[in-house]
A and B are shown apart, each in its own frame.
Chain A
Amino acid sequence: MTVVEADSAVRNPPHAQPVAVPLLQVEDLHTQFHTSRGIVRAVEGVSFSVDRGEVVAIVGESGSGKSVTALSIMRLLPRLTGKIPQGRVTFDGKNLLDLGDEEMRAIRGRDISMIFQEPMTSLNPILTIGLQIKEPLLIHLGMTEEQAQERAIELLHLVGITDPARRLDQYPHQFSGGMRQRVMIAIGLACNPKLIIADEPTTALDVTIQAQILELMKNLSRKLNIALIIITHNLGVVARYADRVIVMYAARVAEQGPAEQLFHRPRHPYTMGLLRSVPRLDHPRGSKLETIEGLPPNLANVTKACRFAPRCPFKIAICEQEPPLYPTDTGSLSRCHRHAEIAEGKITWSTHSGAGLNFAANTEAPVLTVKHLTKHFAVSGGLRGTSGTVRAVQDVSFDIFPGETLGLVGESGCGKTTVGRLILRLEEPSEGEIHFEGVNLSTASAAQLKTMRRKVQVIFQDPYSSLNPRMTVGQIIGEPLHVYKIVNGRKQNEERVAYLLENVGLRPEMAERYPHQLSGGQRQRVGIARALAMEPSFIVCDEAVSALDVSIQGQIINLLEELQRKFRLAYLFIAHDLAVVRHISARVVVMYFGRVMEVADRDVIYSGSLHPYTKVLLDAAPVPDPTIEKQREPRLIKGELPSHMAPPNGCVFNTRCPMASQECREVIPPLEEKRPGHFAACIKV
């Protein structure tokens, strides 16, 4: 630890005045990919600067060019296709784009390091963690093996990995996702760089782990005076950690400025729209999610017009010409001709006035009843290795009524997906019963099961891999119609497919297309149409919107709600995003480690939760408001999910619970009705 501080103190004396020249200055950066289908201009004319010790966030939706900007700075673009025809990247007085390969290599990992999105695949699986951390030390700092070993131990300690000396000899697969990301940070910090670029560093992680990692990065960057560029699509993360924000849209900077200003007084319609589309935990729930209609432009053929114009409700004649970055009254830069009108408050997004969902108390019989559902998986390692049981789902019970949405939230590994699979009968339950429309599925006849398979449908998470790439949209939607003989003949089938496509907001001509010709949101609509084809009464939505961009996510959620009203559908909405679940659900079930922690009506869960886990979960999710976020001290949850091979005794949450006592380690708390309609499994409340 002392070595770290001493070293950084030499380079950045704590009392020195901020240097006038920024650490990193990107000017008019253009990056292109030369593909077989033409030139894709992934980044066009991006300029920004980063001061020493500053935290800058680059936000944008997928394909907006934010990651490509980072890779261009690092000069890590694919060699054959990636080209930077124009621009300057001045770092510490040197134009990185002019450096030779060897000079650039000497800077990577030494002065600028990078942390990537996927901790599961970003470490080499066959090399020890120790070697991977020591590599930059040996290469850049010329340390001896012993010095490097010592420094590696110190780094692991710094990023909060216990027993570092022993863990150095381990391999990446012996670490969890969160731990691997800590290792990545340790590698990034190894040589005391001046700048760290973190590309979606927490997107693949759970909220509680995300909070741990981001706090760690922020603290270290403050302590060691390292500048940080965080690339993310999560506005909550931006609000909490960034000093300055750069909003990218379709390869260009749409708006950039100080975080406070940008969030509270956005001066670009896209920023305004983006901020409105995020479902928020700290706001009362609106009847309908706000969205930005339409899709981002295709970067292979862009016009001279403002890139956001096709989706912008405030488009006027001048928008046919691309706007420059105008300085605005707030001190931020906005690429909008009408920024002054926005500043005067003349332009605001209209809000939806659609009727809200009516969650009247349901007196009907539930469409689905789950009683004491339990699923154990037997696992064995090797031929006669250790074997055991993973208790994926333990004693889960709930009802879902017609036309209602039940939200099921929890972190990865909590068993929420398994519950969905059990209901779909993709897995056999070990214990417990599932009743669908009054029929017990474990004793149902083959005919009853066949009806059930038709009336219970599913929408999957990944719109990219859940559609067969060799079938047209029409075939994908039409196939089940044919199998279940819902329609007669080709003509009827086509008519039905067209009707379904219209219902999910796609043009009937889409039936001729193949999945790869559609965008993520369009594919998810196809997935919904396929589910609707069977005229279901109940749909399991397994992380149905989590792979989509914010503006698209809102569109899909609104569609799901609209369809629910129209067809009186019941949903089981499985997700890890609390704000999304809150928006769509009537009641919410919170799961942890295979067990139900809390069940309550949605507003109760979010405003008056009882269970400590629910509180921690709500607390860990940052909201997109820098004022709130910067005042708030995070109640950081300690530790990680326990191993399924060695489940904790007593309450499953006791290993991480801030309230846990000896008693919690002995008794498994039952799910009790603490208040009318509000259940929690905790002996402390």
Chain B
Amino acid sequence: MLRYATNRILLMIPTLLGVAVLVFFMLRIVPGDIVEIKLRGDGGTVTQETIELERKRLGLDRPLINQFGTWMVDMARLDFGNSMWTERPVVTEIAGRFELSFQVAIMATIIAILLAVPMGTAAALFRGTWIDYTVRLITIGGLSIPSFWFGMIIMLTLLSLFNWLPPITFTPIYVDPIANLTQLIWPALAVGYRYCAVVARMIRSSLLEVMNEDYIRTARAKGVYEKLVVSRHALRNALLPAITVIGLEFTFLIGGLVVTEQVFNLNGIGQLFVQSVSRNDFTLIQGMVMLIAAFYVFVNLAIDLLYAVFDPRIRYNS
């Protein structure tokens, strides 16, 4: 297992290298120039000379391959450079935002799992009854209602009932947990609804399948209590495919919540992404893409390892 994990982590290097090449050269193809936007963006008149000077200062005049090389060498030293726009280190720019996005993702996952497991299980066990139909109605809603719209509904409800508006600044959880949670629970709920719908439907269908397996019949023939048949024999098997879905959704939440963040006035990774792309802030975009790619690979590895924990048939070292 350890060897497998090490191998997988080593395999991240070529994966991330591929990502780096792609993002670097694709950004250079996209029209637009940070210096132009920075200096002429507000309609200001700047001489071509000043622009050239600024480009030179940012190193944008050097051959592409040269720039790429420098970036690679810096990254190898874990130096992600400075934002071309704000001049602050990329790491500092990302860190605060990441903290927020990560917390929302974690909270949404917890909400989703807490809701999805009982809902999916009940729907499968009472298939074809009103319980099943209710769950299916709720989950189809989760899939078809966009998170940001649901978020807006939550906001408006909170506003009209409690006259509550989201604070403008973000309070980290270690500073004031209550303030932090009251701020983030709503976006987490808005995103978690969709998330839970996906997972609940997955659990329902896989549990339906598992309940028809021969080993469930065996368990019943042994005289195992029906509750135990479900919880020990069926549910554990049925949760395996749900783990994959949970992992995929979780990674999506980091950086994928552009509009929802806007609705709740959150300064998350999604917002930063939009901002930096509209400014052509190469170093920042590159840094964020690399970070998300690395995160994605890590979460996937974690899922695969989790699989081995749940399913004894999967053993990575033999």
Contact = CB atoms under 8 A, between A and B. Distances in A.
B226 A105 contact: yes
Interface stretch (A27-35, A107-115, A308-316, A481-489): A107-115
Contacts of A80: 128
A136 B221 CA distance: 10
Contacts of A121: 213-215
Nearest to B312: A171
Contacts of A108: 220-223
A67 to B, nearest CB: 11
A136 B222 contact: yes
Given A382-B318, A385-B318, 8 more contacts: A105-B225, A109-B223, A113-B221, A121-B213, A126-B236, A173-B312, A184-B218, A382-B316
A394 B316 CA distance: 30
Nearest to A382: B316
Interface string B152-176: 0000000000000000000000000
Interface of B: 3-4, 7-8, 128, 213-215, 217-226, 232-233, 236-237, 310-313, 315-318
Nearest to B210: A124
Contacts of A135: 219, 222, 224
A187 B215 contact: no
Interface string A119-162: 00111111110000001100110000000000000000000000
A116 B217 contact: yes
A386 interface: yes
A106 interface: yes
B9 to A, nearest CB: 12
A381 interface: yes
Q: Which 4 A-B pairs have the closest CB atoms?
A: A109-B223, A109-B222, A108-B223, A171-B312
Interface residues of A, number: 36
B223 A122 contact: no
B318 to A, nearest CB: 5
Contacts of B4: 382-383
Contacts of B315: 382
Given A122-B218, A382-B4, A383-B4, A139 B225 contact: yes
15 contacts: A74-B221, A105-B220, A105-B225, A105-B226, A108-B220, A109-B223, A109-B224, A114-B221, A116-B217, A122-B214, A125-B313, A126-B310, A126-B311, A136-B223, A386-B318
Contacts of A113: 221-222
Contacts of A106: 223
Nearest to A110: B223
Nearest to A137: B222
A80 to B, nearest CB: 7
Interface string A84-105: 0000000000000000010001
Contacts of B311: 125-126
A384 B215 contact: no
Interface in A166-181: 171, 173
Contacts of A74: 221
Contacts of B233: 124, 127
A109 B226 contact: no
B313 A173 contact: yes
Contacts of B3: 384
Contacts of A122: 214-215, 217-218
Nearest to A75: B220
Contacts of B225: 105, 139
B70 to A, nearest CB: 33
Nearest to A140: B223
Contacts of B8: 383
